[in-house]
Amino acid sequence: MNQFQYVKPSDPKTAIAIVSKEPAAKFIAGGTNLLDLMKKGIVNPEKLVDINNLPFKSIEKASNVFRLGALVLNSDAAEHELVKKHVPLLSMALNAGASPQLRNMATIGGNIMQRTRCSYFYDTVMPCNKREPGSGCGALKGYNRMHAIYNNTESCIAVHPSDMCVALSALNAAVVIQGTGGARRVSINDFFRLPADHPEKDSNLLKGEMITAVEIPANTFGKNIYYLKIRDRSSYAFALVSVAVALDISGGKIRDARLSLGGVAHKPWRLYQSEKFLVGKQVSQANFLEASKLSIQNAKGYEHNSFKLKLVPKAIVEALQKASSNA
């Protein structure tokens, strides 16, 4: 690992000023992904700006929004009474992620900022456009079992690894960002990028900007939610496919529906067409099947991951069944 400086400012302005001015400075909070990247020489910051003293550790509910500070630990958020009561989908998704030890260190902001787990990204002797733009993509013709089926380019077919962000996508959460020019809010569905011509960029966050919170607008989903994660082992594994479902059901009819997928694209993948189909329909297996068929219209498999084309619709149907049967 390269040598680096370490500072721990106590106010956001100072932290943001340092990372804005210094090209090789980076924020660090839980460090559960960044330290791995540094040990492998994938990122080499000259200065780490520890943000753990900053005042972003609260969980608050107002009448129209639920707010989680960026430094709330994943484990604290997952088990918090207000989260379990008002945004249970988020609690389910958080508990599906990583391991208890990692959830005890990882923060909400860090969960959003974690990098892909594509094995070629972490193997520095292999080509990887995300790690080294222009070098090629080792996964495209390599072992791509974990990779994307929804793409806008073949420059990178990596998937976003977070479970939490799939739930946040379904809940139309906003990422609250602070920079030298002030604060801004970006929908999580616009925060992450597709690879296009810049696979090295995961998100639309600008240099020096810091995530300070996540806001979830009030909703009417109640208990008809479910987070289904399909993976190779039952704990501490990334999703092959995951599905976040939130339904508003009244008298057996679906009044509102949200569906987002994980493990299939460079960002959490909202299924707007399937949602539109479900709204106004009765809760029924036939309607769930129809909605699931719409999900893979623009999907494309590669040598080792074509099974996802069958797995995705089946996972959607199962998640819809589970969500609609919650009392």
Residues of the shown chain interacting with ligand SF4 in the complex, contacts defined by CB under 6 A: 116, 118, 120-121, 128-130, 137-139, 156-158, 199
CB of 194 to ligand SF4, least distance (A): 12
CB of 141 to ligand SF4, least distance (A): 10
Kindly tell me which of 47 and 117 has the beta carbon lying closer to ligand SF4. 117
Please answer whether residues 177 and 203 qualify as being in contact, where contact means their C-beta atoms are separated by less than 8 angstroms. no
Kindly tell me which of 27 and 120 has the beta carbon lying closer to ligand SF4. 120
CB of 125 to ligand SF4, least distance (A): 12
- Position 52, amino acid: N
> What's the 3-state SS for 14-46?
HHHHHHHHCCCEEEECCCCCHHHHHHCCCCCCC
CB of 264 to ligand SF4, least distance (A): 13
Phi/psi at 68 (nearest 5 deg)? Answer: -120, 125
* Rounded-to-integer distance, Cα 151 and Cα 157, Å: 7
Kindly tell me which of 68 and 146 has the beta carbon lying closer to ligand SF4. 146
* Rounded-to-integer distance, Cα 52 and Cα 54, Å: 6
- The helix/strand/coil state of 111 is helix
- 64, burial (CB in 10 Å: exposed 0-12, middle 13-18, buried 19+): exposed
CB of 146 to ligand SF4, least distance (A): 9
Phi/psi at 196 (nearest 5 deg)? Answer: 40, -130
Please answer whether residues 219 and 65 qualify as being in contact, where contact means their C-beta atoms are separated by less than 8 angstroms. no
CB of 28 to ligand SF4, least distance (A): 22
How are the residues of the chain apportioned to helix, strand and coil, as percentages rounded to the nearest 5? Answer: 30, 25, 45
CB of 100 to ligand SF4, least distance (A): 28
CB of 158 to ligand SF4, least distance (A): 4
Kindly tell me which of 163 and 202 has the beta carbon lying closer to ligand SF4. 202
Kindly tell me which of 6 and 307 has the beta carbon lying closer to ligand SF4. 307
* Rounded-to-integer distance, Cα 198 and Cα 107, Å: 26
25-28 and 47-50 as β-strands: parallel, antiparallel, unpaired? parallel
Kindly tell me which of 121 and 226 has the beta carbon lying closer to ligand SF4. 121
Kindly tell me which of 38 and 59 has the beta carbon lying closer to ligand SF4. 38
Kindly tell me which of 157 and 188 has the beta carbon lying closer to ligand SF4. 157
List, in order, residues 6 or more apart from 244 with CB less than 8 Å away: 89, 93, 166, 167, 169, 170, 225, 226, 227, 258, 259, 260, 261, 262, 268, 319
